[in-house]
Structure formats: structure tokens, C-alpha cells
């Protein structure tokens, strides 16, 4: 099974509990839609854990992107002083920055900004739409658009492409009228009500507000079941 999660935000504890809850095994794949780091206390611990999972695939969110921009700035200032740059990068994460090493920095720098499969597309914040309410090809969007998109999350924004877009970035409790932290799956008008294929949905909003409400959720691509842990 393929499970998709977003905005874990340094909650290593919740992430491990989520893997237990879904009985995640070697035959499964986990996709993270970005914002693994910041807000919680275990940014680097979590980053290294996911980096070492052979069956995890990750893209960058705005929090990884902000870290990389800081890193690129330091390299411009002192391109030859690697020790000094690493020390400053470690200080960027006040809680567990000491765990940061060059392997992990390089790994983050080389992560993609979207993952595209036959039936679905994963991004952090969203993809711009063209005048026909179709997403532009992700390779034509800028990194800034993919990690900061402000419009895509709106319930008014419908996507007419055949692929489902999975994204995070904004806690769903800001969107849902009852303020609950649940995954929002937007069903296509033409999709049968009793069917739960990933292509029955045009977008799935995954940020359950880990840092805000302590809820971490994920969705299974094959059957669209959702799973939550709270702490
Ligand atoms: Mn974000």
C-alpha cells in the first residue's frame, strides 16, 4: 500500500505511532508531502529517520525550502568554511540541531518538489491552475509556487485534471467549518458516491495540524482509507 502524509513538523513521536497504527511494513511505501522539520522538537531526528527508511519518498515543503535558502546564503558568504557553515546550520534547529550532518543537508537539497504518478500528484502547498481549472504541468511551476501556493487550498478551487493532487501546508482546521483536524478529500462531481478510488477525488488536503492540534493523519492511495493518531 502507498500512504501519503504531510506536515509532520518534527513530531517524531506521532510519526512513529502513525506507522504503528497503519502497520507499515517493508512492502508499503510512504510519501511525505513536505514540512518534516520545524515547530516540534525533533526536526533532525525525524529527518534522519525518514531519510533512512528505504521505502519512503519525500518532497520539500516551505520549511525545508527556507532552511535551504539559509544554507545557500551561508555558502555564498563563506564558501570555503564548511565547519562554520555546518555549525550555523545546526544552530538553525535549536532543539536537536546537533544531530545534523552533511549527508542530511545534501539529502534535503536533492529532494524533489513534487512526485507525479499515474493517478496522483503530491506537492506541498499546491499547483497553479490554468484558465480551464486544470493544474499546469508541475515541471512548469516554480519551487515557490509549489511550496507557498495560497489559492489551491480553498474549497472553491476545483481541479479538472484526471489526477488527484495531494497537498498540505495549511491546517485543515482553518478550512473546515467545525474547526476539526481531519483530512479533506474533495470528490469529483461525476464520481459515484459509494466509490473510493483515488481518481474519484480531485484534491486531498492532508495537513491535519500536527503542530497546532497534535493530530497526524495519512491516507492510503489504494482504498482512500484515512488514519489518525493524536498526542
Ligand atoms: Mn508548509
CATH number at 40 reads: 3.60.21.10
- Gap from CA of 36 to ligand 1 centroid (Å): 9
Cell of 40: 516540534
pLDDT band at 135 (very low <50, low <70, confident <90, very high): very high
Please check whether residue 30 lies inside any domain of the structure. yes
Which tens digits make up the pLDDT trace of 146-162? Answer: 999 999 999 999 999 99
Q: Give the total number of structural domains in the chain.
A: 1
79: cell is 564558501
Q: How many residues does the chain have?
A: 231
CA–centroid distance, 64 to ligand 1, in Å, is 9
Closest CA to 44 of 3, 105, 113: 105
Mean pLDDT of 35-54: 98
Distance, in Å, from the CA atom of 79 to the CA atom of 84, rounded to the nearest integer, reads 10
In a domain, 90, yes or no: no
Chain centre to alpha carbon of residue 39: 14
User: From the CA of 63, how far away is ligand 1's center (Å)?
Assistant: 6
Question: Judging by beta carbons within 10 Å of its beta carbon (0-12, 13-18, 19+), is residue 40 exposed, middle or buried?
Answer: buried
Q: How far is the CA of 108 from the centre of ligand 1 (A)?
A: 15
The range of the structural domain enclosing residue 122 comes to: 2-60+112-230
Amino acid at each position: 500500500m502507498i500512504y501519503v502524509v504531510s506536515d509532520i513538523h518534527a513530531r517524531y513521536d506521532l510519526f512513529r505511532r502513525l506507522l504503528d497504527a497503519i502497520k507499515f511494513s517493508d512492502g508499503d511505501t510512504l510519501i511525505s508531502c513536505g514540512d518534516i522539520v520545524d515547530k516540534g522538537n525533533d526536526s533532525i531526528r525525524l529527518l534522519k529517520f525518514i531519510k533512512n527508511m528505504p521505502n519512503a519518498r519525500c518532497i520539500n515543503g516551505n520549511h525545508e525550502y527556507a532552511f535551504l535558502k539559509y544554507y545557500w546564503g551561508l555558502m555564498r558568504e563563506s564558501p570555503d568554511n564548511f565547519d562554520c557553515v555546518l555549525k550555523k546550520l545546526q544552530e538553525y534547529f535549536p532543539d536537536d540541531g546537533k544531530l545534523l550532518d552533511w549527508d542530511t543537508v545534501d539529502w534535503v537539497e536533492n529532494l524533489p518538489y513534487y512526485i507525479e504518478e499515474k493517478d496522483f500528484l503530491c506537492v506541498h502547498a499546491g499547483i497553479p491552475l490554468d484558465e480551464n481549472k486544470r493544474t499546469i504541468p508541475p515541471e512548469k511551476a516554480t519551487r515557490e509556487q509549489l511550496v507557498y501556493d495560497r489559492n489551491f487550498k480553498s474549497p472553491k478551487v476545483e481541479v479538472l485534471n484526471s489526477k488527484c493532487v495531494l497537498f498540505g501546508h495549511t491546517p485543515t482546521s482553518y478550512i473546515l467549518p467545525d474547526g476539526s483536524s481531519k483530512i479533506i478529500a474533495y470528490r469529483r462531481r461525476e464520481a459515484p458516491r459509494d466509490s473510493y478510488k483515488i481518481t474519484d477525488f480531485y484534491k486531498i488536503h492532508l495537513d491535519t495540524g500536527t503542530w497546532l492540534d497534535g493530530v497526524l493523519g495519512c491516507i492510503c492511495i489504494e482504498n482512500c482509507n484515512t488514519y489518525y493518531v493524536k498526542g
